[in-house]
Structure 1
Amino acid sequence: MPCSKSMTLRARLTGLFIAVVAAIVLLFSSLVYFFANQNVFADFYKRLELRARLAARITLEDAAKGNTAFNELRNEYIETLPSEKQYFIRLNEQSQPDSGMQAVIPASLISDAVAKGSAVGRDGNTLYAGLYVPESWGKYVVVVSGRNDYGVQFLNNLQWLLIASFIIKALILGFVGFLFSRRILKPVLDFTSKAKDIGVHNLTVRLPEGSGQDEMGVLASTFNHMLDRLETSFESQKSFIGNASHELRTPLTSIMGEAEWALLKTRSAEEYQQSLQTIQKQAERLEEITRSLLSMARTGFDGGRQEMTRLRIDEKLLRAKELADAIYPNNRIRFDFSHLPEQEEQLQLWGNKDLLQSAFSNVLINACKYSDNNEVLVSLDVQSPNLIVRISDKGIGIPAKDLPYIFDPFFRASNVSGYMGYGIGLPLARNIVRLHHGEITVESVEGKGTSITIVLPQLMYSAKPD
């Protein structure tokens, strides 16, 4: 069925292409024939007028003077037209012709020639040219008629030539239109084929965007952004359902165990206090896990409802450092803003201030935590159309075997057992960056440190969110 639909669309495009181009060719051919017809008959009328003047000169003027030289030249050098005839119509005092001539020559031609000095007309296939000649011995209208057989034959040949060329062009247009529609629809068919490979368990597949400057590139980019949101939503949903029970089980088990132990028999005040402290500690852990799960759910399911405003990325980075200072007062975070542009507008982007601040602070806090407060370098660069944030530390790094899984919710690298955490920071940061149509990448060498790069679109190169 998809094939038949694509073929129907291809047939429509081919038909539309043929119809439009054929209409243009037909219009052009009609104009050629129209102007050729006008030119052929205009030329024939001029030839008739010339012969009318010659006839008037030879018959009326030269004959009166007894001069026959001009007549001899006419007979020698000027061909006779098909069915050529000459009429010399004498007019009376009222400039009216002999009544007998009106049956041969159209009356309107004679009256027009008298009124205008010359006139042309047509009666079927016979063409006329009339010339008014007022002489001292009388008034005449000289009329020359003939058939434009050569012109008509030329127009017939031209007509058949235009029809034959139109048919040939139509066949060529059909073939070209088929190739044209096939080429136009090829990206769509490729997208369709690629989209068939995308499923719930394979949401990482993306459509090729090419240069991204044409309509197909924009369509592929929009589709890929939709897949990013779907993938984030599915991952958040799977994480929320699959990991919630696992992560919540430990503190809940500890709380229930402590409560059962306290209620099993009468305890001393010190034992009750110790048990309550344990319950409080596990409840705080439970609250932290619940908040992290809700944050993941918020970025995964509610991405289209976030309030987006104009933000300056450098201000969000500085605010993220303030949050890191509150947790790690002795941190050694250093900023490199040496590549900032002079124009403030180039540092702006569309974003949710709380979510972006959370993403940056999560990455900064992780850098401080896993580097044991060694130096953390935060650099900001502008490479239009993107803003590039790079956060590098000299900490414990991430083992190569763990790198493919660092964005899985609740996953923790094999070398971080001595550090408190829940494996939420990086997945949450990635979800937030994706909501802002950006990218986040991680490079790390175990024992040497980690570098995280966040790429976000500038305000001037991104559409304003609804």
Structure 2
Amino acid sequence: MRALPRGWHRVRPGTLRGRLALLALFTTAVWVIVLTAVFNVALEGRLRAEADDLLRTRATAAEATVRVHPDRSLTVDEPAHDRALDTGIWIYQGRRALERPPASAGVQRAADRLAGRHDAFEETGGSTPSRLYALPIRDHGRQVGTVITAVGLDPYRHTAQSALAGSVGLALLLLGGVYLMARGVVGRALRPVGAMTRQAAQWGGHDIGRRFGAAPRPAELNALAGNLDELLDRLAAVLRHERQLSAELSHELRTPLARITAEADWLLARPRGPEERTAAIEAIAQGADRMRTICETLLAEARAGSTEAPGRCALGTVVRDIAAREAPEAADRPQAPPIAVRLTGEEPMLVAGVSPAVVERILTPLLDNARRYARDAIALECSAGPPGSVRVTVTDDGPGVPQDAHDAIFEPGYRADPADGHDGAGLGLPLACRLARAAGGELRLEPALRGARFVVMLPAG
């Protein structure tokens, strides 16, 4: 591949409009050059053909004035008051000239060379070029003389040169017009792109909730609008996640930090005994451990990818897929009950405004919790919630959540009964709650006649 000339990067336009205009100019220039060359070649051929026709016509007219005698001698009968045939016409009998008009030495030598030939052309050079034609004079099929006509080529060449100059000038004007028009058309076509880019930048800085939507526009701009909307969705998710993470850190760390501060102030207020000092240090250590657990949980949730765009998904399909994937795990545990899936309402209306992966990460901790405590049944129910939302309910027929632990189960590291024989670190439910909030919804525990009933509210898609 040939390298670009040095300095080309300085000549090549830096804008897409300029590059497209140059591309259109180059393409048009190729065609204009080809058409101009073809036109001038065709015109030159046509002018040459006209000169040849003129020579033949004059030669035929001159031949009509020549009489052939029985002895094959020639005489010329010149018409009265007609000197047109005397200009540029030679009449030869053999190699001897009967009629010889005044002409330059070059033209005369060319006429002498054509004497005795038939249907032949010859051109002379110099500052005043001419074209000559030889027409034979025959008697009973035998050539007895030659009529030679000549015409100056200056008018024809002047016409060809004028046509060439005019076509080149017209081509240059056409290329200039094409370049300006291409820049204007490309600039007008790219104007909506620039406007959409500026709007996206403005919305990203000041109005993150605005979107381009599905307004009528060309297909290419629809694709660009979709990509920009997706980018704004991602940016909104990032900002929402940052605000949510900051709020969660502030809220969750406030209680253990206040306890640590109170215990430290209590220790410093006056001398304490060994038992009091040990109890205070243990309280401080528990508060610090709880803060560590909270930070690890929130950071794990941040690393889990909650900054992705909300997306859309059909809840019925996602819930069925989750239940189908959980079935093999339940089969490995004979005591684990099956998962029943129920849909309330028309399935096409049950569309969540979050991605399937987020829904799965929210529901998986709830199903894990249900499998630990359920006796005979676990149910997943999808239904329409309040306007603009959809609902997923996870229920089981286990012992349920103690009344005094309804608020604490969503705190990182909390377990209602650590000695209940089930594994778990008390992080699943807090993680599901934070994921639901980050997606614009919520997770809550509702009263149930039997077992536990967790309700996930998500924005509708």
TM-score, with normalisation over the residues of structure 2? 0.52
Query: 1:210: Cα distance to partner?
Result: 6.8
Query: 1:294: Cα distance to partner?
Result: 1.7
Equivalent AA in structure 1 for residue 45 of structure 2? Q
After superposition, the Cα gap between the structure-2 partners of 1:367 and 1:113, relative to the gap in structure 1 and judged at 3 Å, is farther
Equivalent AA in structure 1 for residue 44 of structure 2? N
Equivalent AA in structure 1 for residue 383 of structure 2? D
2:44 corresponds in structure 1 to: 37
1:46 corresponds in structure 2 to: 53
Aligned pair 1:421/2:410, yes or no?
yes
2:302 corresponds in structure 1 to: 296
2:134 corresponds in structure 1 to: 130
Aligned equivalents of 1:217, 1:81: Cα separation in 2: 77
Number of residue pairs matched by the alignment: 361
Query: 1:42: Cα distance to partner?
Result: 1.7
Query: 1:420: Cα distance to partner?
Result: 4.2
Aligned equivalents of 1:231, 1:109: Cα separation in 2: 94
Describe the superposition over 1:333-369 as per-residue Cα deviations: whole angstroms up to 9, x where unpaired: 2489xx9xxxxxxxxxxxxxxx965642414766999
Within a 5 Å distance, the mapping from 1:98-109 to structure 2 comes to 103=105, 105=107, 107=109
Aligned equivalents of 1:81, 1:419: Cα separation in 2: 124
Within a 5 Å distance, the mapping from 1:255-270 to structure 2 comes to 266=275
Within a 5 Å distance, the mapping from 1:204-223 to structure 2 comes to 204-206=209-211, 218-223=223-228
Aligned equivalents of 2:61, 2:70: Cα separation in 1: 15
Aligned equivalents of 1:165, 1:107: Cα separation in 2: 42
After superposition, the Cα gap between the structure-2 partners of 1:315 and 1:453, relative to the gap in structure 1 and judged at 3 Å, is same
2:360 corresponds in structure 1 to: 360
Aligned equivalents of 1:320, 1:80: Cα separation in 2: 112
2:241 corresponds in structure 1 to: 236
After superposition, the Cα gap between the structure-2 partners of 1:106 and 1:31, relative to the gap in structure 1 and judged at 3 Å, is farther
Within a 5 Å distance, the mapping from 1:59-98 to structure 2 comes to 63-64=68-69, 84-91=87-94
Q: 2:343, 2:383 within 8 Å by CA — same for their partners in 1?
A: no
Within a 5 Å distance, the mapping from 1:164-179 to structure 2 comes to 169=174, 173=178, 176-179=181-184
After superposition, the Cα gap between the structure-2 partners of 1:335 and 1:255, relative to the gap in structure 1 and judged at 3 Å, is farther
Partner SS for 1:88: strand
Aligned equivalents of 1:359, 1:419: Cα separation in 2: 23
After superposition, the Cα gap between the structure-2 partners of 1:172 and 1:333, relative to the gap in structure 1 and judged at 3 Å, is same
1:121 corresponds in structure 2 to: 123
Aligned equivalents of 2:225, 2:110: Cα separation in 1: 73
Aligned equivalents of 2:103, 2:264: Cα separation in 1: 134
Describe the superposition over 1:288-324 as per-residue Cα deviations: whole angstroms up to 9, x where unpaired: 77334322234157x7xxxxxxxx9899634654599
Equivalent AA in structure 1 for residue 55 of structure 2? L
Aligned equivalents of 2:95, 2:105: Cα separation in 1: 17
Aligned equivalents of 1:324, 1:276: Cα separation in 2: 40
Aligned equivalents of 2:232, 2:361: Cα separation in 1: 26
1:188 corresponds in structure 2 to: 193
Runs of 5+ unmatched residues, structure 1: 1-5, 304-311, 340-354, 378-391, 404-416, 432-439, 456-466
Aligned equivalents of 2:110, 2:47: Cα separation in 1: 23
Partner SS for 2:297: helix
Q: 1:48, 1:129 within 8 Å by CA — same for their partners in 2?
A: yes
Q: What is the root-mean-square deviation in Å for CA atoms of aligned residues?
A: 6.3
1:435 corresponds in structure 2 to: none
2:383 corresponds in structure 1 to: 393
Describe the superposition over 1:405-459 as per-residue Cα deviations: whole angstroms up to 9, x where unpaired: xxxxxxxxxxxx769436754764798xxxxxxxx89899xx9x9786898xxxx
After superposition, the Cα gap between the structure-2 partners of 1:104 and 1:283, relative to the gap in structure 1 and judged at 3 Å, is closer
Aligned equivalents of 2:147, 2:57: Cα separation in 1: 11
After superposition, the Cα gap between the structure-2 partners of 1:147 and 1:80, relative to the gap in structure 1 and judged at 3 Å, is farther
Relative to its length, the structure with more helix (as a share) is 1
**Which moves more between the two structures, 147-156 or 32-41?**
147-156
Q: 1:442, 1:453 within 8 Å by CA — same for their partners in 2?
A: yes
Q: 1:368, 1:374 within 8 Å by CA — same for their partners in 2?
A: no
Query: 1:86: Cα distance to partner?
Result: 1.6
Aligned equivalents of 1:232, 1:65: Cα separation in 2: 115
Aligned equivalents of 1:420, 1:234: Cα separation in 2: 27
Aligned equivalents of 2:35, 2:55: Cα separation in 1: 30
Give identity over the alignment, percent. 16
Q: 2:319, 2:341 within 8 Å by CA — same for their partners in 1?
A: no
Partner SS for 2:147: strand
Q: 2:120, 2:133 within 8 Å by CA — same for their partners in 1?
A: yes
Aligned equivalents of 1:323, 1:245: Cα separation in 2: 40
Equivalent AA in structure 1 for residue 410 of structure 2? G
Aligned equivalents of 2:42, 2:143: Cα separation in 1: 40
Query: 1:64: Cα distance to partner?
Result: 3.7
Aligned equivalents of 1:330, 1:43: Cα separation in 2: 100
Within a 5 Å distance, the mapping from 1:137-176 to structure 2 comes to 140-147=145-152, 162=167, 169=174, 173=178, 176=181
Aligned equivalents of 1:430, 1:83: Cα separation in 2: 110
Aligned pair 1:332/2:336, yes or no?
no
TM-score, with normalisation over the residues of structure 1? 0.52
Aligned equivalents of 1:25, 1:138: Cα separation in 2: 50
Partner SS for 2:134: strand
Query: 1:180: Cα distance to partner?
Result: 0.7
